Amino acid sequence: MAKTKYSGVYQDGKGGFFYNIELGVDKVTGKRIQKKSRKDSNGKRFTSAREANKEATRIKNEYHMQNGYANYRLTFGEFMNSYYLPYYQSNVEESTWETRRHVLSEIRDRFFDKELREFDVLECEFYRTWLLKESGYSQNYAALVYGAFRQAMDYAVNLQFLDKNISKKTKSIPKGKSLVAYWTKEEFEKVISVIYTHNFYEHMCFVAIWLYYMTGVRVSEGLALYWNDVDFKKKKLRVHHTLQMKSQKDYKRKPYTKTEDGMRTITLDDDSLSILKNWKRVQSDHGIEDFILSYTGLPVYRSTIPRIIARYAKVAKVPKIQAKGLRHSHVSYLINEFNADILVVSKRLGHSSPEITLKHYAHLWSRNDEPIAKQMTGNVKFVPAKKTMINFNGNQNVKGDLIPYQNPAKSENNLNESCNSNDS
């Protein structure tokens, strides 16, 4: 019997699939309630682990709908281990599971022996305050942890272990504002100027930094690029894959990106095309044909990119940035050098809407009105009035005899001088 990626679903020695699940504890006898089957509700044998998991999920939901709160004494730890963690793992990408597993385990261990039904608003509020004030976590991490806790409680409601999510009576923790550091064009020029491209590995480092800076692709998208993703004639780069990698012998080139809109085609500039053509020839001389970012024929680790950035940032004496900082750098480059339209930037980044782009990169448009201000200068034409055209009959404080007399010619000269002074 072998486990599958679905909790409670197994494959026997003959290749058949079955589920063996626990539905909780009988409130009368105190014994665990189990259900095992090789067939669906229509009596058809399962032909895949996915089919078995689908039926197991249906059985669980049906049981909880019929039995209400049978698991009255279910602890938070039991709930997390038996229900939420298997559910979460089977419904997210493996990479997401790896990054969230520690957070979920931390939440589970904190409340392990506490019964689900014992949670109240005060306990949730105390936990929220602890995360913000005493845990030592950043606000972003505290927001992540408390959000995960609330989602777990939501699932307990879905399975009818609880009648409501008491944690929703408290406020969520807002994410702290964090700006990702990026390189200006001048800093980027300094970095690529210190890379010795006659060394094969350094040449790949040069191509990696150039490619990320000039296209704005996500790190995992860049690592997954094949040469057949580049159309040298049409000057296009197809971004349709992401790389998930545990080791150089254990990796997956997934046929999709982070979001549906991330599946995109980017137009390449002639400089990038020239650099890629040259690198393709060099790679070919070393027997490498598939991955663009490779010096062994195998993909490079995700951690390789930040190490490359840190190494050459130090040599070039520019600020060290994160790997995703090159994506921000690309946006800055498009805006500050070419006054790029928000829609163009959004499409290149693979966002679902310009609103998403603005949410993350609005601060990079801070100089976007400078060309407009230059065009506004001198655009409004007028000749100053040489005398007043208003007959002040109302307010005594503004009668004509209280308004100082100015020589019209002198007044006009003063106005012109003022305008000239402001222009400078």
The last residue of a domain, from among 178, 211, 232: 178
- State whether 127 and 10 are in the same domain: no
pLDDT tens digit sequence for 270-320: 999 999 999 999 999 999 999 999 999 999 999 999 999 999 999 999 999
Is residue 116 domain-resident? Answer: yes
* Domain assignment present for 121: yes
17 contact partners, CB below 8 Å, separation of at least 6: 4, 9, 10, 11, 38, 46, 47, 48, 49, 51, 52
Same domain, 93 and 64: no
User: How many distinct structural domains can be found in the chain?
Assistant: 4
Residue 375 covered by a domain: no
* Judgement on whether residues 300 and 341 belong to the same structural domain of the protein: yes
* Alpha-carbon dihedral angle through residues 386, 391, 394, 399, given to the nearest 10 degrees: 50
Q: What is the reported pLDDT for 399?
A: 52
Predicted confidence (pLDDT) at residue 68 exceeds the cutoff of 60: no
Considering the domain architecture, whether residues 57 and 148 belong to the same structural domain is answered as no
Select from 131, 155, 178 the last residue of a domain: 178
Last residue of some domain: 154, 178, 202?
178
Q: Residues 242, 323: one domain? A: yes
pLDDT tens-digit profile of 196-237?
999 999 999 999 999 999 999 999 999 999 999 999 999 999
pLDDT at 7 over 70: yes
320 and 198, same structural domain?
yes
The per-residue b/e assignment along 361-378, b for 16 or more CB within 10 angstroms, e otherwise, is beebbeeeeeeeeeeeee
Question: Domain check: are 311 and 209 in the same one?
Answer: yes
**DSSP class of 84:** I
What gap in Å lies between CA 38 and CA 169, rounded to an integer?
Answer: 42
Q: What is the CATH number of the domain that holds 107?
A: 1.10.150
- Single-letter residue type at 170: T
- Are residues 223 and 337 located together in one domain of the fold? yes
Instruction: Indicate if 269 and 296 belong to the same structural domain.
Output: yes
Say if residue 164 is in the same domain as residue 275. no
CATH of the domain at 324: 1.10.443.10
Q: Are residues 323 and 391 in the same domain?
A: no
The string of pLDDT tens digits covering residues 114-167 is 999 899 999 999 999 999 999 999 898 999 999 999 999 999 998 878 889 999
Name 243's bridge partners. 253
Find the domain containing 173 and state its range.
Answer: 84-178
Q: What is the pLDDT confidence band of residue 423, given thresholds at 50, 70 and 90?
A: very low
Identify whether residues 216 and 316 lie together within a single domain. yes
Report pLDDT for 208.
97
In a domain, 90, yes or no: yes
Examine the pLDDT at 365 and tell me if it is beyond 80: no
Q: What is the pTM of this model?
A: 0.64
Give, for 51, the enclosing helix (H) or strand (E): helix 49-67
